[in-house]
Structure 1
Amino acid sequence: MRITDVQIRKLFDDSEMKAVASMTIDDMFVIHDIKVVEGERGIYVSLPPIAQPVSPQANSTIAEAVLRTYQSALADEEMSLEQ
């Protein structure tokens, strides 16, 4: 599995849900409505019920790509607020 694109669609400041993302896999399959959520144990990724990874490795790969893009979107937003 190769993640070919991750897009952060919306950022939220004032709720447990921090962002909504979409991800493209192998330039052929798109998963929409991936949520970045802040819970009691930290930030995590919640996939929509119809898109479930079949292995822990696939789940980890997806979560890492979405969280990396989320952190980048946060940094971009902070930079634009400073200007």
Structure 2
Amino acid sequence: MEARFLLLSDVAAELNVSDSQVYHMVRSGELPAIKIGGRGQWRVERAKLEEYIQGKYTETAAWVRENPLAEREPE
């Protein structure tokens, strides 16, 4: 059974980005997370991470539609 909540370092590994990038995503509100415990450690729910990833696929698809590849001019 997979863990419901992930450490920021686990999220960074899943997304293949740095821990600091994930921390910034969480602090900016881009990626939903919760703070738990007396020391306020961040956790990201696996389901929220999957929603975030799906949202990025949707954003990227829209960007690709709006920015088609330009044909290169023959040299």
Place the TM-score, normalised by the shorter chain, in its bin: 0.3 to 0.5
Higher RCO (C-alpha 8 Å, min separation 6): 2
Larger fraction in helix: 2
Give me the TM-score of the superposition, normalised by structure 1: 0.35
Q: Which has the larger radius of gyration?
A: 2
